[in-house]
Structure formats: C-alpha cells, structure tokens
C-alpha cells in the first residue's frame, strides 16, 4: 500500500501533544506547536487552511506534519527520522510553504531533505532559542511609562504591524491576524493611539515578530513588550520561549538581562519563490 498523509482526529491531538511533554523541555518545540492547535481548534474546530497530518494514520512515535496557511511544521519523537522523511516527501511543495520552527535536532535532516528533493528555499539567519520557566515569567514586573497603554492587538493593528514587518510576504497579513485572534498579543500605544511596539505569540508557542517602531527605538519599549508578553504567558502556566537572530546583539543582551537562558537554536526556511497566497481571503 502506498504511503499517504492522513488527518489526525481533533480528539487525538492532546495525546499527540503530551508525547512531547516527556523529558521537559527537550521536546518543547513539538509540544508548543501541537498545543497551539489544540487550543485553537478547541475554540473553533472549523478554522480554515489547517491540516494536522500523520503518516498512514500512525502518530504513535509523535511524527506529524502541520500545514497552516503559509507555514509548515514537522516533528517526531523518534530517533529514527525515516517516517518523518517519508511524510515530508508526500507534501505538495509547489504551494510555497515556509518550513517553520526547526530546532537543532532536526535541522540537518531538513537541510538534507530540501536539497535532495529540490525544494527551493531561502537560507536565512538562524536564531538562538531562549527559555524562561513559567514561575519566573509570572513574577515579571510590567510598568508602562506615562502616556503608554498596553493592550491586545486588533485586526486593524495587525495591518500596521504587517506593513512594517521585515518578513512580510504574500499571505502574511492573514497569518498575523490569525495569531492576534487566537493567541495572546501585546501592543504599546501612545495617548493618541499610535502603535509603537508589538509582539505576537507564534504557532510554536513562543514570542515572535517582536518589533518597535523606528521612531521609538532605544526607549525601552522592546523590554516592556517582552515582559508583558512573558508575564501573560507565564501566568497561564506555560514556560516562555523566544527566538532571537544570532547577530541581533541588542536583543540578545535584552533577553539575557531579563533572565532568559539559551536552550537551543531555531530556524525558518521560507520559499525562494512565494506561493500563490493572498490576503483577501474572507476568513482566517
């Protein structure tokens, strides 16, 4: 019988996620990714453009592929990557997915796969993968300066964030609007309503797309937003993770000063040619 990708039933996702809880935080990337979709699909089981797939209906070793709009996530608990490679080989790569949230454990495998299978990707700078335990994150102090208000991002705020995002691409607006709709997010706003700093919680479960408007850099807004996001996540019982680009020394120093510790590396591989994604889909 030919290999095939099979949708994992929603009711099985919690068990799949919990396979990655063992030996915490060794498999935190797989845990955080599946946990995101457990939370999202519990809120709305009909979110479009999400598929959570196993090879031939068997996920007992933790092997999964998730396609979510413009992004693809893949992981396994197995030390033998044969089944994961088979699953990856069944993906329609012509769609132009970004291979997202690749930890060091699978990085060589993914690099080898895209090369051998002629998956055309851009090799961008990797990141250090920081962690703060949830009890430490919950104790962080968040004191916005006078004239600054912190609140979750709306769909309208996300339009601004996407326009200024260095990694924006076709389909990225819907990607960010989905994050704002289903995950915690924080924006810093001036008294006249200007959005000057923001951060999302991305599908791997970590902080992501942290950005400060050029006009408000070097004023402590990055640290403020990180503390606010980390505290919000920590108070819900989750450890807090964050990717920071290897040579972004100001951000690296900021996370270290806040008490984060490096536990891994994290990489993304965007397609060399963007897929046929667009931002005028009526639902996200």
SS3 content of the chain, % helix, strand, coil (to 5): 35, 25, 40
Q: Are residues 26 and 152 in the same domain?
A: no
pTM: 0.95
Residue 93 lies in domain: 5-126
The helix (run of H) or strand (run of E) holding residue 41 is helix 28-43
Contacts for 174 with CB less than 8 Å, ≥ 6 apart: 69, 279, 281, 284
- Cα–Cα distance measured from residue 229 to residue 130, given in angstroms and rounded to the nearest whole number: 14
Q: pLDDT at residue 277 above 80? A: no
Condensed to tens digits (0 to 9), the pLDDT of residues 155-189 reads 999 999 999 999 888 889 999 999 999 999 999 99
Is residue 19 domain-resident?
yes
Q: Are 261 and 131 in contact (CB under 8 A)?
A: yes
Q: For the sheet containing 195-201, what is the strand order?
A: 148-151, 185-190, 195-201, 207-212
Is residue 62 domain-resident?
yes
Q: Are residues 144 and 57 in the same domain?
A: no
Q: Are residues 238 and 115 in the same domain?
A: no
The structural domain count of the chain equals 2
Task: Report the 10 Å Cβ neighbour count for 262.
Answer: 13
The mean of the pLDDT values for the chain is 96
Contacts for 44 with CB less than 8 Å, ≥ 6 apart: 182
Last residue of a domain, one of 126, 144, 167: 126
CATH code where residue 21 lies: 3.40.630.30
Last residue of a domain, one of 126, 146, 177: 126
Q: Are residues 235 and 170 in the same domain?
A: yes
Condensed to tens digits (0 to 9), the pLDDT of residues 88-117 reads 999 999 999 999 999 999 999 999 999 999
Q: Are residues 176 and 68 in the same domain?
A: no
């Amino acid at each position: 019988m030919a290999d095939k990708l099979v949708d994992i039933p929603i009711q099985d996702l919690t068990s799949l996620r919990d396979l990655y809880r063992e030996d915490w935080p060794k498999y935190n990337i797989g845990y955080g990714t599946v946990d995101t979709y457990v939370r999202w699909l519990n809120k709305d089981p009909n979110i479009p453009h999400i598929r959570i797939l196993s090879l031939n209906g068997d996920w007992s070793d933790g092997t999964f592929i998730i396609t979510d709009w413009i992004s693809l996530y893949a992981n396994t608990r197995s030390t033998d990557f044969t089944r994961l490679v088979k699953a990856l080989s069944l993906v329609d790569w012509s769609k132009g997915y970004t291979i997202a949230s690749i930890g060091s454990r699978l990085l060589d495998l993914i690099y080898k796969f895209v090369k051998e299978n002629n998956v055309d990707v851009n090799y961008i700078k990797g990141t250090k993968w920081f962690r703060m335990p949830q009890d430490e994150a919950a104790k962080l102090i968040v004191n916005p300066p006078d004239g600054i208000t912190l609140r979750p991002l709306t769909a309208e705020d996300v339009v601004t964030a996407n326009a200024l995002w260095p990694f924006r691409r076709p389909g990225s607006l819907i990607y960010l609007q989905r994050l704002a709709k289903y995950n915690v997010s924080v924006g810093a706003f001036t008294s006249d309503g200007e959005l000057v700093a923001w951060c999302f919680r991305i599908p791997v479960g970590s902080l992501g797309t942290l950005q400060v408007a050029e006009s408000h850099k070097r004023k402590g807004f990055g640290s403020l937003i990180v503390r606010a996001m980390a505290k919000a996540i920590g108070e819900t019982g989750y450890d807090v993770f964050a990717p920071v680009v290897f040579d972004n020394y100001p951000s690296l120093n900021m996370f270290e000063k806040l008490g984060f510790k490096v536990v891994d590396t994290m990489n993304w591989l965007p397609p060399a040619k963007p897929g046929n994604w667009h931002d005028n889909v009526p639902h996200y």
